[in-house]
A = this chain, B = another copy of it.
Amino acid sequence: MNGENTALLTDLYQLTMLQAYHREGMSDTASFELFVRKIPPTRNFLVAAGLDQLIEFLESFRFSDEECEWLGTLGYFSQDFIDYLSKLRFTGDVHAIPEGTIFFQNEPIVRVTAPISEAQIIETRLINIIQLQTMIASKAIRSVLAAPGKLLVDFGLRRAHGAEAGLMAARAAYLAGFDGTSNVLAGKLFGIPTYGTMAHSYVMAHDDEADAFERFAESLPGNVVLLIDTYDTLEAARKVVALAPRLAAKNIAIKGVRLDSGDLTELAKGVRTILDDGGLTQCTIFVSGDLDEHELSRVLKAGAPIDGFGVGTRLTTSRDMPYLNCAYKLQEYAGRPRRKRSKGKESWPARKQVYRRYDDDGRMLHDIIAIEDEPGLEGEPLLRQVMAGGKRVGARETLADMRARLREQLQRLPVELAALDKSSTYPVLISDGLQRMVQHMESVGL
């Protein structure tokens, strides 16, 4: 299949609009901004992610000759326009909130400033790239908050929505503070630590469960984690204890056990007792199976002696909110501010900046959305220039940078926003200058 980074991964209307702009000779500079209209009801804040993939897409943006030829067969486009498309590259500027930054409703997280056709044609893939990782990072951070100090591993590739969804979810979860992923390709592409042991099928393929454990341990002596819920979990824990001395004689330690079904709290307690009584106090308990942040919180509050969690489907599909209400809107064209006035979908015009202000303890106090060059505003500006003239500005950030940024921001997040349940809404103010601009536009019918 491949080819996902081709310019052709777009909506047809982008091309029909471009043909109109081309025919009309409209090529002035436009600014579009991507923002989330509303924070989902089950989130208190969002975490920006996916910018690195966006920059890669924009730097390599082009239609291949073969694609141009195919477009010609559709009957929509003139040869003159197709020739123009074949030479089209992205030459614009991009400002964005760095990955790993906490943000809120209506705040521009990516701004593209470019000749209007360039800023328009990239819309579909830009949203597609940024919304996926932002959604997953914003989901994953909740597991991080629910299970502080526990090992957290992304297990969600199989039920993610395709290959790219699985890869980018692994990246976004790691960015948000997960320790690693089961996804091998994500490990290779992004340098994320990989985790994994055995499935039920491995146990089932052997005639005897204890035999399966022993053979597996001998095959992977440095990383023995045994799945103990295929038949009877507590019985299997006793088999682990019985097996331990034989393995110890071969210098193999049983590092942990995994539970994937049943009442995790009760089973973990039972297993812990069996392991401890058997002298395996260093053997950890790792659990998985239909988990999300609420379940993590629940079992830990119930005192389950669990050391780590594999979080899968509900993480990588963002089960409770599998999309963000986001939009990429024209805010300025040919030096004049623009805004959408469709009912319920109004947007704030002009190129904007977000300023974040902190209280004396360094906690986030409120954000202000303002016109980019509006004078007299104080606070930390969140948007930075990341591309100039179609090229990346500055050094490429590492995932470690982004993880550190988010950890630092969590320290400054108002405590009530770190709760899993919906709490108070963080104040996002609109600057005087921006409010005056909208009033003026309304007064002249724009």
Across-interface contacts of A293 in B (CB, < 8 A):
none
Q: List 6 A-B contacts (CB under 8 A).
A: A4-B167, A20-B202, A20-B220, A160-B161, A161-B322, A204-B338
Which A residues from 217 to 233 make CB contacts under 8 A with B?
Answer: 218-220, 222-223, 229-231
Q: In the complex, A204 Cα to B330 Cα: how many Å?
A: 7
**Quick one: CB contact mask for A1-21 with B, threshold 8 Å, 1 for yes?**
111111011111111110111
Q: Which of A22-30, A249-257, A351-359, A371-379 contacts B (4 or more CB under 8 A)?
A: A22-30
Q: Which of A68-76, A237-245, A387-395, A403-411 contacts B (4 or more CB under 8 A)?
A: A68-76
A138 an interface residue at 8 Å Cβ cutoff?
Answer: no
B184 with A10: CB separation less than 8 A: yes
**A residues touching B (Cβ–Cβ < 8 Å)?**
1-6, 8-17, 19-21, 23-24, 26, 30, 32, 53, 56, 67, 70-71, 74-76, 116, 120, 123-125, 127-129, 131-132, 155, 157-169, 182-185, 187-189, 194-202, 204-205, 215-216, 218-220, 222-223, 229-231, 260-262, 313, 317-319, 322-324, 326, 329-330, 333, 338-345
A290 to chain B, nearest CB (A): 9
A1 with B1: CB separation less than 8 A: no
Q: In the complex, A224 Cα to B377 Cα: how many Å?
A: 46
Across-interface contacts of A116 in B (CB, < 8 A):
205
Q: In the complex, A14 Cα to B220 Cα: how many Å?
A: 13
Q: In the complex, A326 Cα to B124 Cα: how many Å?
A: 31
Across-interface contacts of A166 in B (CB, < 8 A):
9, 128
B123 with A158: CB separation less than 8 A: yes
Lowest 9 CB-CB distances: which A-B pairs, in order?
A12-B196, A4-B163, A162-B164, A13-B196, A161-B161, A161-B165, A20-B219, A201-B330, A322-B322
Copies, count:
2
Q: In the complex, A83 Cα to B151 Cα: how many Å?
A: 32
Across-interface contacts of A161 in B (CB, < 8 A):
132, 160-162, 164-165, 168-169, 317, 322
A304 to chain B, nearest CB (A): 17
Q: In the complex, A131 Cα to B159 Cα: how many Å?
A: 7
**A159-B323, A201-B329, A261-B345 known; A76 vs B220 contact (CB < 8 Å):** yes
B12 with A195: CB separation less than 8 A: yes
Q: Report the nearest B residue to A158, measured CB to CB.
A: B127
Across-interface contacts of A12 in B (CB, < 8 A):
182-184, 187, 194-196
Q: In the complex, A202 Cα to B163 Cα: how many Å?
A: 33
A4 with B164: CB separation less than 8 A: yes
Across-interface contacts of A188 in B (CB, < 8 A):
8, 67, 70
A185 with B6: CB separation less than 8 A: yes
Q: Report the nearest B residue to A28, measured CB to CB.
A: B205
A221 to chain B, nearest CB (A): 11
* Residue of B160, B223, B338 touching A128 (CB-CB under 8 A): B160
Q: In the complex, A106 Cα to B216 Cα: how many Å?
A: 30
* Residue of B24, B159, B219 touching A215 (CB-CB under 8 A): B24
* Residue of B2, B30, B199, B204 touching A205 (CB-CB under 8 A): B30
Across-interface contacts of A75 in B (CB, < 8 A):
222
Across-interface contacts of A343 in B (CB, < 8 A):
261-262
Across-interface contacts of A195 in B (CB, < 8 A):
12
Q: Report the nearest B residue to A164, measured CB to CB.
A: B162
A157 to chain B, nearest CB (A): 6
**A4-B2, A161-B165 known; A204 vs B340 contact (CB < 8 Å):** yes
**A161-B160, A161-B161, A165-B162 known; A23 vs B219 contact (CB < 8 Å):** yes
Q: In the complex, A158 Cα to B204 Cα: how many Å?
A: 42
Across-interface contacts of A313 in B (CB, < 8 A):
323
Across-interface contacts of A20 in B (CB, < 8 A):
198, 202, 215-216, 219-220
* Residue of B4, B185, B344 touching A8 (CB-CB under 8 A): B185
